[in-house]
Structure 1
Amino acid sequence: MKIVIAPDSYKGSLSATEASKAIERGVRKALPDAETVLVPAADGGEGTMDSLIAATNGRKVEVTVKGPLLEDVQAAYAILGDQKTCVIEMASASGLCLVDPAELNPLITTSYGTGELIQKALNDGCRKFILAIGGSATNDGGVGMLQALGMKVFDEEGKTLGYGGAELSRISNINTEEFDSRIADSEFLIASDVQNPLVGPDGASRVFGPQKGATPDMVEMLDKALSSWADLVEIKTGIHLHDKTGAGAAGGIGGAFQAFFRAETKRGIDIVMEYTKLGEKLSGADCVFTGEGQIDYQTASGKTPMGVAQEAKKHGIPVFVLAGSIGTGIEVLYDHGITSVHSLVNAPMPLKEAMERGAELLEVSAEQVMRAFLAAIKNRG
């Protein structure tokens, strides 16, 4: 019996690779001679780089860049097996995970480090980029990234401006003469399922600003600042970012890619499935295991379990989801190829304990689901 195992990471507990191995152990307890195919997955957020490294026999390059508060941080990018394609997780340089919650302030956090990662990869000869932009701590419209790549931004007096979301309202002019010319010769694939426009009720500041530390007053300030920036971009490039789909992704960095790069956007899970060749690996499979830390109605919006299930549905393969926790609205998932959803927590316990025991709980859950599946097949036969 062929079993495909394609989970995302269980944030704060297990990487996708660790989760895959735990599920495999559980499956083999129920069916020792199972043919297991492990496909550690991701949806454009944390773990995307590792998933693509594993799929292509790539390598990780560790570097020092500026973090969201312009402090030195250790970050990394991947060079895939073709030696030409670079994968960057924005969170590695400009992520929420790098800032103490008490210090979160999108008025001053910057995407500068993400630009540094791009520049270092350009120096390594990469001309094709995959940018996973989830988990950012910034709301600066991607201007910090542009500054790192050589763009100059000035106020109305011609003075060079600093970094962060608050500075956007002061930008009166830009100079692209020193903007890295290699950008024009490069292709950028943005891994994102965010459809939000740059500004307005559904824009970057109002929807995502609060989780990055923005107070209600900051949200208003940031939205106006992004609108002012978009006005200038339209004057300089003719591109209207204000209500452009996806421009609001990652604090507006989506708009920066749309205006100044040769870029296209694609669901992160679709990119990962393409590189991991999940569709091919599903051929002849009897069932699929997937999962991640939280399963709820939002899972339907391009999360890994949904992407895996949609692909498996094409092959008529049942899909079992193993969830750290189950939220509301999971009923919508059953129309998209998910057979059943199972919680890892098998007894009352604190969250900390559940996360520490993640591998054990995942293994036990996988074994129980596999045994139930085998019994169902036997009874049906």
Structure 2
Amino acid sequence: MRVLVAPDSFGGTLTAPEAARAIIEGWRRHAPDDVLTAAAMADGGPGFVDVVHAAAGGRLDVVPVRGPLGTQVPMTVLHVEGTAYVESAQACGLHLVDRRDPLNASTYGVGQAIGAAVDGGATRVVVGLGGSATNDGGAGMLAALGATSDVPLDAGPARLADVTSVDLSPAAARLDGVELVIAADVDVSLLGMFGATKTFGPQKGLTDEQIIEVDGWLDRFVVAACGPSPAERRPADARGAGAAGGLGFALMLLGGSVVSGIELVAGVVGLTASAAAHDLVVTGEGTYDFSSRAGKVVHGVAAVAASAARPCIVLAGQVLVGSREMRAMGVESAYGVTERVGVEASMGDPARHLADLAERVARTWSPRTLG
């Protein structure tokens, strides 16, 4: 039997390559003769650059940038034949903050990395979005590239409360002649009931009252940067504008075009051809829930498996969707580590427990039996 193992990272516990290795190790305990192929995946969020580098090679440059709360952090820029890949989570990700402070967290470091990519010779920059601790509408990123305003743009959304004007021309000039691609993990807009702040603000630390307040500040930022008319404000309503706390919106202001992060990565790693060459596709993530729909790795891998007429199963830390919902996502079955060992144990030794889960699942899906 040929099995393609194409997981996302598991929250903050396992990278995508580590998860793939654990699944393969466990599966082989039951079915050592199965052909198992690792294809670590990402959707633009954490692990994006590592996954692309593993598939496409290229040159890695380490750039010191400002983290979400001001502390300097290292960021890796991948250069592949004129294209640079930047992972926003490396500059403003949730994993970089000990305390969640979304009112003051900034995307400034993302702009620094984009600037470094251009200085390094890139004529095309792909920015992976996802997993951010920020909700500043990308204002910090714009400031790092030269945009100016009547308020500080690099100190989080709280400083946007009184914004009335934004000059994007220096940032646009900085990227003159550069193609900007936005690899987004979600397709939400920037503002409103289904926008970035309402949807993802709570996981970044915003209270219900703060969500309303921050959404109002970002609305003022949109007016200052774009104009008040519906036509002028259109970038804020675009799909993907709300990715990474509004980084998608700011990148669109600089001419960026949105693509699905998972589809971009799938193309780089040749996922469609790989799925067709295997009998079963296994994917996974930390928590398999309703947010795993369009834009996320599990949904994207399942769609590729379906196009190749191959069954797809999910191995996850937790499974929070029912069988009807998972089948609507193109998944045959889903299995969770916590169902057997609990949350605390699964977090304590995630690789071992994921491998144990894979061994059990292989008994169901691999025709080999041990006699």
Tell me the alpha carbon deviations over residues 106-132 of structure 1, each in whole angstroms, 9 at most, x when there is no partner: 332111111001011111111222212
Separation in structure 2 between the aligned mates of residue 162 and residue 335 of structure 1, nearest angstrom = 42
Distance 1:358 1:118, change over 3 A: same
Which aligned pairs between 1:1-381 and structure 2 lie closer than 5 A? 1-80=1-80, 82=81, 84-101=82-99, 104-154=100-150, 163-179=155-171, 181-235=173-227, 238-261=232-255, 263-345=256-338, 347-349=340-342, 351-375=343-367
Tell me the CA shift for residue 165 of structure 1: 0.7
* Cα deviation 1:207-265 (Å, max 9, x = unaligned): 3223222233432332221111111222399453443333222222221122222x221
Alpha-carbon separation, structure 1, partners of 2:368 and 2:287: 27
Question: 1:61: Cα distance to partner?
Answer: 2.2
Q: CA, structure 1 residues 321+123, in 2 after alignment: closer, same or farther (shift >3 Å)? A: same
Contact 1:297 1:333 in 2 (8 A): no
Deviations 1:79-135, CA, capped at 9 Å, x for gaps: 23x3x222222111112222222xx33332111111001011111111222212112
Q: How far did residue 54 of structure 1 move?
A: 0.4
CA distance in 2, matches of 1:374, 1:107: 50
Rounded Cα–Cα distance in structure 1 between residues aligned with 2:79 and 2:178: 15
Shift of residue 293 of structure 1?
A: 1.2
Q: Distance in 2 between matches of 1:207 and 1:346?
A: 27
Amino acid of the structure 2 residue aligned with 1:138: T
Q: Which amino acid aligns with 1:252?
A: G
Structure 1: which 5+ residue stretches go unaligned?
A: none
Post-superposition offset of 1:334: 1.3
Verify the 8 A CA contact 2:142 2:168 in the aligned structure 1.
no
Q: Which runs of 5+ in 2 are unaligned?
A: none
User: Offset at 1:11?
Assistant: 2.0
If you compute each CA radius of gyration, which structure gives the higher value, 1 or 2? Answer: 1
Distance 1:209 1:359 in 2: 30
The answer to whether the Cα contact below 8 Å between 1:161 and 1:171 also exists between their aligned partners in 2 is: no
| Secondary structure of 2:278's aligned partner | coil
Whole-angstrom CA distance in 1 between matches of 2:153 and 2:183: 29
Letter of the 1:30 counterpart: H
- State the distance in 2 between where 1:98 and 1:347 align: 31
Does the 8 A contact of 1:300 with 1:333 survive in 2?
Answer: no
- Report the Cα distance in structure 1 between the residues aligned to 2:103 and 2:290, rounded to whole angstroms: 31
Aligned-pair distance for 1:338?
A: 1.6
Check the 8 A contact 1:109/1:138 in 2, yes or no. yes
1:376 Cα deviation (Å)? 8.7
1:56 deviates by 0.4
2:175 corresponds to which letter in structure 1?
I
**Are 2:143 and 2:153, in contact at CA under 8 Å, matched by a contact in 1?**
no
Q: CA RMSD in A?
A: 2.5
Q: Secondary structure at the match of 2:317?
A: strand
User: C-alpha offsets along residues 57-77 of structure 1, whole Å, 9 cap, x if unaligned?
Assistant: 134322211111222222222
Identity among equivalent positions (%) equals 35
Tell me, in whole angstroms, the C-alpha distance in 2 between the residues paired with 1:372 and 1:278.
24
**Aligned partners of 1:86 and 1:109: how far apart in 2?**
25
TM-score (norm 2): 0.90
Which amino acid is 1:87 matched to? Y
Secondary structure of the corresponding residue to residue 189 of structure 2 = coil
Quick one: distance in 1 between partners of 2:11 and 2:328? 26
TM-aligned CA distance change 1:132 to 1:212, over 3 Å:
same
Q: Evaluate the alpha carbon distance shift between residue 193 and residue 354 of structure 1 in structure 2; reply closer, same or farther with a 3 A threshold.
A: closer
Q: Please give the TM-score of this superposition, normalised by the length of structure 1.
A: 0.88
**One-letter code of the match for 2:259?**
K
Count of aligned positions: 368
